[in-house]
Chains A and B, each alone.
Chain A
Amino acid sequence: MLEIDAVSHTYPDGTRALDGVSLSIGRGLFGLLGPNGAGKSSLMRVAATLQSPSAGRLYFDGIDVLAKPQALRRRLGYLPQDFGVYPGVSARVLFDQIAVLKGITRTRERRDAAERLLRMVNLWDVRDRAVSTFSGGMRQRWGVAQALIGDPDLLILDEPTAGLDPAERNRFHELLFGLGEVAVVIVSTHIVDDVADLCAGVAVLADGRVLAKDAPAALAAALDGRVWRGPTDPDAGAATLLSRRLSNGRPAVRVLADERPGPEFERVSATLEDAYFAALADAQEGRR
């Protein structure tokens, strides 16, 4: 269980990235949703012990993370949103380097782990190629493999499906689902479907604050009966615009309202995406 207790962080330039974030995340997949700059990556980095927060505390299975970061790192797998590699170093050698830093000192164990995990992410056949020559998706898969070294109990994955093609993304979902049965897995993403399909819990972040947290289905269910779909924006009134997009070349507008916002609107089932936009709209309303 990862306990994040009133964590705040302000960068030296005054940017308040996290503002009193509190979350309890148990075994299973947990999604962090939020727009750009919401504080997802900052929270991930704090949880991964790469950044000390300005205030607050974190515990993982009783470990005081801020006091004993090394203890957490022994049980951590981390995929940063943006990472690089040494130029010209092969996938296997680089994997080996991370494995030895993680404390796997027996050559055979490292070799076995490399084979198992590089096969898992479909990179075994190119294990002797330099990672710096990989495409974005291949590099991301290598990043996933290194995060899984040592079968971590806490897996923090920042935008893990970025750059993956649909087939790889599906494979990765399967992999994540399996991991969620034995570890705490935190996934940050912009892709609402990733969270809706996989995660047992989700938190919506914006401006460094948690706007909503619950199971994806519960967040959606809380809006049931109040989400409407129509072809145009509703008249000014009590309806809250959730999203506007083109569907088959025609505008499709989803709004939140207790009553039908117009004759052309029909009631639809609420989705996690509706809940996400509703939380953001609430926060925006609160700021006004």
Chain B
Amino acid sequence: MIVRLAWHELRQQLGGHVFWIVFAVSVLMVAGAMAIDELRVGLSEQGARTGVAAIVRTHLVWTLFFLFTAAAFVGEAAMRDEATGFADLVRATPINLRSYALGRSLGACAAVLLCFVSVPAAMAASGAVLGLGTGSPEAYLFAFFTLAVPNLVLASALFFALASVTRSMTGCLLGAAGLLTLYGLAGDHGRSGLTLIEPFGLAAVAEATRGWSSAQRDTMLPPLGGVLLLNRMFWLAAVAVLVGLGTWRAELRAPRSRLRTSGLEGVGGDANASQSAALPAVTGRAPPALPASSGWSVVAIQIYVRTAFEVQRVIVTPAFAVLLVMGLAGATAAAARVVGTPATIAALASSFQVVPVVVALFFSGELFWAEHEHNVAPLVLATPASRAVLVVPKLLALALVFFLLAATSAGAGFFVELSRGQPPAPMSYLSWYILPKAYEWLLLGVLALFLQSLAPNKLAGWGYLVFYLIGSLAFSKLGWQDPHYSYGGYPGAPLPPSLSGARGVGWYRLGWGGVAAAMAAFTCRHGATNGRQDNTRPLWRRLAGRAG
């Protein structure tokens, strides 16, 4: 049964667009890294392009990149039934729920592994095309089966457990973001000495090949013994624990609404008690309550109320809290390493970058698709509110959230300075960091919402932005960093002009603000003007597209 369920899940994943988009992106990036030095993110500059070391290193680094893929695939497999309302039907069957959850997750894990085949395939193919040779088959087999497969199985098991415990896709994505952040903070240096407990084996491989010459690294496989074998065995044991935890929690998983509904059913029981309440609306009919709702004052109040609602839906979430804590930890650590307000602000500007990007990525999708996902669209679209009243508050909510992030991270630096007995300069924090950073992040938030408005679903919208971010990084590494064509860019970024000494920054900001305004206007109007009627578009946009 488990195998059959896994096969069913695998087929479902293969039938989705996400699998093939990730596959194609991996092929392009691996091939790009083979052809262009500047695109070799996380890879060594030395040695043969298709040597054993390069093959091993590529597999290891790409298992890190595949964390989000594993989170998306496994998280979706775990949460799909809940999201689609199919879960109750499954629970009503005699199937063992643990087997069901395990089967689904195994299928998703198989999809992750299959998708990862894109990495060695692209490497070998591009090596052949570039005349570098395809590389040793033994190296590919070693790298894939002893390094990539255990790593990806470990990631899948981790996200299976996270999805079962947190019962949300958010839990998986945060797990992936947290793990990547830890790796980013640690760097290669931080991993040394962690050969056994570093989960993805980068340190263990480095230890196993310590002292080897470049020629040896290119021709010899790292020995599968000693610390490397111990590392693999240790984390495979961890996989067993995580799968056990996930499977155990899967049994306990029940619809939240059911858990909380107890006690409410009886509320209807007081129907008789209030039977005498004014029933027909005609008896208590108020004066016409729907005024001309197109006046600017009405629209302004609608936007204000909706914005407050949307902001609450972002900041009162565990996801935001976790992201904020993670970001603040990094910012505080960075601020603690320097002295003085200008240096602290520079440290904050460099260290507090990941959280705003993840917030823009994650919450743009959550906000934009909320009406569609929760099927509120039929209610809100039947109101006379304009489409802008639905979209603008989402933008404003992101703006407020970014301002809060900037203020909070600035607060971290401020208090670090205070704790050292140094008087911080509040106006410098405000004008050098809080306002410009909030503005920069808002530009990214507008882009994220714009991309969501073009996407057929939330996952694709996230993919578009990830693709943009990776593309920006790649172009940046290729030297294409001119702020004239780098969205949101300005001379001296990420430092404020007062620290970098760059001139004309305000004009760049103004220009990119204009671009963002155009995208925002398009996002507001897109639903109302686009007449496509495919079912993959957000419901409220599809409906609006038809009805104008």
Q: What is A's interface to B at a CB cutoff of 8 Å?
A: 11-12, 48-52, 69-70, 73-76, 78, 80, 82-87, 93, 96-98, 100-105, 109, 112-113, 116, 119-120, 122-123, 125-126, 129-130, 132-135, 137-138, 143, 146, 148-152, 165, 167-168, 171, 174-175, 177-179, 181-182
B298 touches A78 (CB 8 A): no
Chain B residues lying within 8 Å of A149, measured Cβ to Cβ, are 289
Chain A residues lying within 8 Å of B386, measured Cβ to Cβ, are 70
B289 touches A167 (CB 8 A): no
A122 touches B374 (CB 8 A): no
B261 touches A135 (CB 8 A): yes
Chain A residues lying within 8 Å of B284, measured Cβ to Cβ, are 116, 120
Q: What is B's interface to A at a CB cutoff of 8 Å?
A: 256-257, 260-261, 264-265, 267-268, 270-272, 274-275, 277-286, 288-294, 297-298, 301-302, 305-306, 309, 313, 370, 374-376, 378-386, 389, 533-534, 543, 546-548
- Select the residue from B271, B277, B281, B306 with max chain A CB neighbours within 10 A: B281
Complex CA–CA separation, A126 to B265 (angstroms): 11
Complex CA–CA separation, A120 to B274 (angstroms): 9
Chain B residues lying within 8 Å of A134, measured Cβ to Cβ, are 261, 264
Chain A residues lying within 8 Å of B309, measured Cβ to Cβ, are 93, 97
B271 touches A70 (CB 8 A): no
Complex CA–CA separation, A76 to B290 (angstroms): 10
B257 touches A73 (CB 8 A): no
Q: Closest approach, in angstroms, between the C-beta of A146 and any C-beta of chain B?
A: 6
Taking A83-B379, A103-B292 as known contacts, 7 extra A-B pairs with beta carbons closer than 8 A to each other, sorted by chain A number, are A12-B533, A48-B382, A74-B293, A80-B382, A86-B370, A135-B265, A178-B283
B376 touches A86 (CB 8 A): yes
From the candidates B280, B305, B548, name the one contacting A100 in the complex (CB within 8 A): B305
Chain A residue at smallest Cβ distance from B546 = A52
Number of A-B contacts (CB under 8 A): 183
B547 touches A50 (CB 8 A): yes
Chain A residues lying within 8 Å of B256, measured Cβ to Cβ, are 87
Chain B residue at smallest Cβ distance from A109 = B289
A171 touches B279 (CB 8 A): yes
Complex CA–CA separation, A85 to B264 (angstroms): 17
Chain B residue at smallest Cβ distance from A70 = B384
Chain B residues lying within 8 Å of A86, measured Cβ to Cβ, are 313, 370, 374, 376
From the candidates A116, A135, A171, A174, name the one contacting B271 in the complex (CB within 8 A): A171
A96 touches B305 (CB 8 A): yes
A133 touches B261 (CB 8 A): yes
B280 touches A175 (CB 8 A): yes
Instruction: Please name the 5 residue pairs, one residue from A and one from B, whose CB atoms are nearest each other, closest first.
Output: A178-B280, A103-B293, A84-B375, A150-B290, A78-B382
- Select the residue from B374, B385, B546 with max chain A CB neighbours within 10 A: B546
A52 touches B548 (CB 8 A): yes
Task: Supply 12 A–B pairs (Cβ within 8 Å), ascending by A.
Answer: A49-B547, A50-B382, A51-B543, A52-B547, A87-B256, A109-B289, A120-B281, A150-B289, A150-B290, A151-B288, A165-B268, A168-B271
Chain A residues lying within 8 Å of B547, measured Cβ to Cβ, are 49-52, 69
B279 touches A85 (CB 8 A): no
Q: Closest approach, in angstroms, between the C-beta of A186 and any C-beta of chain B?
A: 13
Complex CA–CA separation, A133 to B265 (angstroms): 10
Complex CA–CA separation, A181 to B381 (angstroms): 26
Chain B residues lying within 8 Å of A76, measured Cβ to Cβ, are 382, 384
A100 touches B277 (CB 8 A): no
Complex CA–CA separation, A98 to B290 (angstroms): 12
Complex CA–CA separation, A69 to B545 (angstroms): 12
Chain A residues lying within 8 Å of B289, measured Cβ to Cβ, are 102, 104, 109, 113, 149-151
From the candidates B285, B297, B374, B378, name the one contacting A87 in the complex (CB within 8 A): B374
B264 touches A126 (CB 8 A): yes
Known contacts A102-B293, A104-B290, A182-B285, A85 near B382 by CB under 8 Å:
no
Complex CA–CA separation, A84 to B278 (angstroms): 27
A51 touches B546 (CB 8 A): yes
Chain B residues lying within 8 Å of A122, measured Cβ to Cβ, are 268, 270-271, 274, 277
Chain B residues lying within 8 Å of A11, measured Cβ to Cβ, are 533
A74 touches B370 (CB 8 A): no
B267 touches A125 (CB 8 A): yes
B378 touches A83 (CB 8 A): yes
Q: Closest approach, in angstroms, between the C-beta of B58 and any C-beta of chain A?
A: 42
Chain A residues lying within 8 Å of B272, measured Cβ to Cβ, are 167
Complex CA–CA separation, A74 to B293 (angstroms): 8
Q: Closest approach, in angstroms, between the C-beta of A113 and any C-beta of chain B?
A: 7
Chain B residues lying within 8 Å of A168, measured Cβ to Cβ, are 268, 271
Q: Closest approach, in angstroms, between the C-beta of A135 and any C-beta of chain B?
A: 5
Chain A residue at smallest Cβ distance from B386 = A70
Complex CA–CA separation, A49 to B544 (angstroms): 9
A102 touches B385 (CB 8 A): yes
Chain B residues lying within 8 Å of A150, measured Cβ to Cβ, are 288-290
- Select the residue from A69, A80, A84, A132 with max chain B CB neighbours within 10 A: A84
From the candidates A100, A103, A135, A152, name the one contacting B264 in the complex (CB within 8 A): A135
Chain B residues lying within 8 Å of A82, measured Cβ to Cβ, are 375, 378
Complex CA–CA separation, A70 to B278 (angstroms): 30
Chain B residues lying within 8 Å of A48, measured Cβ to Cβ, are 382
B279 touches A174 (CB 8 A): yes
From the candidates A49, A80, A123, name the one contacting B379 in the complex (CB within 8 A): A80
Complex CA–CA separation, A178 to B280 (angstroms): 5
Chain B residues lying within 8 Å of A143, measured Cβ to Cβ, are 379
A151 touches B277 (CB 8 A): no
Chain A residue at smallest Cβ distance from B383 = A101
B379 touches A12 (CB 8 A): no
Chain B residues lying within 8 Å of A137, measured Cβ to Cβ, are 268
Complex CA–CA separation, A119 to B268 (angstroms): 12
From the candidates A70, A87, A98, A151, name the one contacting B294 in the complex (CB within 8 A): A70
Chain A residues lying within 8 Å of B370, measured Cβ to Cβ, are 86
Known contacts A51-B547, A151-B286, A174-B280, A146 near B379 by CB under 8 Å:
yes
